[in-house]
Structure 1
Amino acid sequence: MVTVTFISNDGKAVEAPENSNLLRVSLREKGGIPFKCGGGLCGTCKCRIERGLENTDAVKPKEKKHLSDDDLSQGYRMACQTFVKGDVSVSW
C-alpha cells in the first residue's frame, strides 16, 4: 500500500494499492482533486506532486498537450493520467 496525502484538502492522507490512478484514489477517498472529464482531454485535474514525484509513472502524451516542459519540471501532472507506485503528496 502507498500513502497519498491531499495537501489542499487539509492534508488528508489515505492508503491505496500500489500502481493506483491518482484521480481514482481522489474520487474513492474524497481527496478533492478537481476534474471534469477524467480521460485526459480537458486538463482540469492538473495538480502538483509536492513530494514523491519519483514515485509516479512516466508522463503520458495526453499530459504533454496540457502541461509545458516547465510545468512538468515543477512537478505538475494530470491526476487522471498519473499512477502512483509509492508515497506522494499532492496539491492543486
Structure 2
Amino acid sequence: MINITFITNDNKQVSAPENSNLLRVSLREKGGIPFKCGGGLCGTCKCRIETGIENTDAVKPKERNHLTSDDLAAGFRMACQTFVLGDVAVSWVPKGR
C-alpha cells in the first residue's frame, strides 16, 4: 500500500494500492480534488504533486492539452490521468478561488 496526502484537505492521509488512479482515490476516500468529467477533457482536476512526483506514471497526451511545459515542470498533473506508484502529497486550488 502507498500513502497519499491531500494537502489542501487539511493534510488528510489515506492508503491505496500501488498503481491507483489519483482521482479515483480522492473520490473514494473523500480527498477533495475537484473534478467534473473524470476523463481528461475538462481540466478541472489539475493538481500539483508537492512531494513524490517521481512516484507518478508518465504524462498522458490528454494532460498536455491542459498543462503547459512549465506546469509539468512545476509538478502539475491531471488527477484523472495520473496513476500513483508510491507515496505522494498533492495540493490544488480550492473551488471558488
State the TM-score, normalizing by the size of structure 2: 0.95
Partner of 2:72: 72
Name the CA distance, whole Å, in 2 between partners of 1:88 and 1:15: 11
Q: 1:76 offset after TM fit, Å?
A: 0.1
Q: 1:67 offset after TM fit, Å?
A: 0.1
Name the CA distance, whole Å, in 2 between partners of 1:9 and 1:43: 19
Structure 1's consecutive aligned runs of 4 or more residues displaced over 2 angstroms after TM superposition are none
Name the CA distance, whole Å, in 2 between partners of 1:85 and 1:70: 23
Name the CA distance, whole Å, in 2 between partners of 1:83 and 1:23: 9
Name the CA distance, whole Å, in 2 between partners of 1:65 and 1:12: 29
Partner of 1:29: 29
Name the CA distance, whole Å, in 2 between partners of 1:40 and 1:9: 22
Cα RMSD (Å): 0.1
Partner of 1:3: 3
State the TM-score, normalizing by the size of structure 1: 1.00
Q: How does 1:38-77 map to 2 (within 5 A)?
A: 38-77=38-77
Point out where structure 2 has 5 or more consecutive residues left out of the alignment. 93-97
Name the CA distance, whole Å, in 2 between partners of 1:4 and 1:37: 22
What is the aligned-residue identity percentage?
80
Deviations 1:32-59 (A, max 9, x none): 0000000000000000000000000000
